Amino acid sequence: MPEQHNQTPRSYICANCGGGIRYDISKQQLVCSSCGTPAPFQLNTTPPTEHPYVEQAISASRNVPQAETMEITCQNCGAQVMFSEHQTATSCPMCGSAHVAAAKQAEGLPPDGIIPFKVDQYQAQEAFRKWVRSRWFAPNSLKKSYQEGRLTPVYLPYWTFDAQAQANYQGRGGRVRRVRRGKQSYTTIDWYPVSGTVRESFDDIQICASANAQRKLAAQIQPFGTSHGCLPYDVAYLAGAQAEHYAIDLDEGYIRAQGQMEATLNSAATNQILSRGFQQAHITRLNPSYTHVTYKHVLLPVWLAAFTQGGKSWHYAINGETGKVSGQRPYSAVKIGAVVALIVLLCLLLILLFGENSYAAALADFTTNEFSILSAISPIHQTGGTANGIFWTGPLHG
């Protein structure tokens, strides 16, 4: 049973014409979507602040009622409006008016800041159109299918963490040398024990705290400008968009942030070993410690959508601040087969034209090219790839 919430979500209705009020991305202000009248809302001006990561904050982040669906009546048209478990802002399915569950959004640790959308729907669609066109092995029908996808503006919850980190490490440094025995030579590595200390300062490590199934895609469109681009949080920014309450509490968020910091410290230790004149480095023990840890809770803008191709839904996300794209897409087995067939044909032509002496070279070229293609397109061996800052995943599809 959906919960009948005792604190009615705010409805944003224009006093001039009764239309829905929403945040206008191009004007960067609240306006009526029907008559264009600016909304007379006084937005919060208290700057977002960093909070110490202490036990009281961890406990407060967990002090949230069990997530339940919520049903309200639209004050504009009388239709029923449904909020999913973690959803805090939505629009009426009948009249499109905005509804925001301000009290639900403030449960636990309320948001400190927000980055309003700067990339509008047209710009987001254009960014994805370019992304689709750059996918060489995508089916031709994909260019039509993506246009049917509906973009949804969503504010996703994030934790950001600052910290000073230090790590003592132990490891091995390797020096490579050539050894000759008779007419044969081979490469060997001489390993030496090494140790040291590395230090790093971390500013605004971003951890997506959403329950959304596409949060992995959202994580791939980072970073957001949370260090300098956050505005004071005000519930009015959510009008006309969807929004979510965090589903990952502060402590779990910090554990994930520690994983990122430890990876950076491990990389710094490896580089330190290499800087000592070694050609190889291997870390055997890393003991990190963190001080001056602070956090803030922010809502960040993401365009989410899905399109249907080959009877399956494919999802993508676009950074609402920068326009960076992350998406899933199918692959055309026909196109891949055609490229492989072309490589085989070229190898055969080389053999016919230049004889057996060119056979080995042709075969080597074929093997290298085939491996490169399959490595670039196979999600079985790769969880994702990048090209011009764009991430992609997805299985073969004809």
First vs last C-alpha separation in the chain: 42
Q: Tokens at residue 317, please?
A: 């996300």
Question: Residue ranges of the domains in the chain?
Answer: 1-42+67-107, 331-397
Taking residues 253-279, report their average pLDDT.
97
Question: What pLDDT was estimated at residue 382?
Answer: 34
For the CA atoms of 134, 135, 136, 142, the dihedral, rounded to the nearest 10 degrees, stands at -110
3-state DSSP assignment of residue 361:
helix
3-state SS, residue 124: helix
Report the pLDDT value the prediction gives residue 174, as an integer from 0 to 100: 96
Nearest to 70 by CA among 86, 90, 84: 84
Nearest to 336 by CA among 382, 365, 378, 364: 378
Question: What band does 370 get if pLDDT is binned at 50, 70 and 90?
Answer: very low
Do the beta carbons of residue 161 and residue 207 sit within 8 Å? yes
pLDDT at 374: 42
What is the pTM for the complete model shown? Answer: 0.78
> Nearest Cα to 132, choosing from 396, 392, 398, 397?
392
DSSP string, 243-262: EE--SS-HHHHHHHHHHHHH
Q: Which of 323, 235, 298 is nearest to 21 (CA)?
A: 235
| pLDDT in the model for residue 207 | 96
Q: What is the mean pLDDT of the chain?
A: 80
What are the tens digits of pLDDT across the range 114-157? 999 999 988 988 888 887 776 665 555 555 545 555 788 999 99
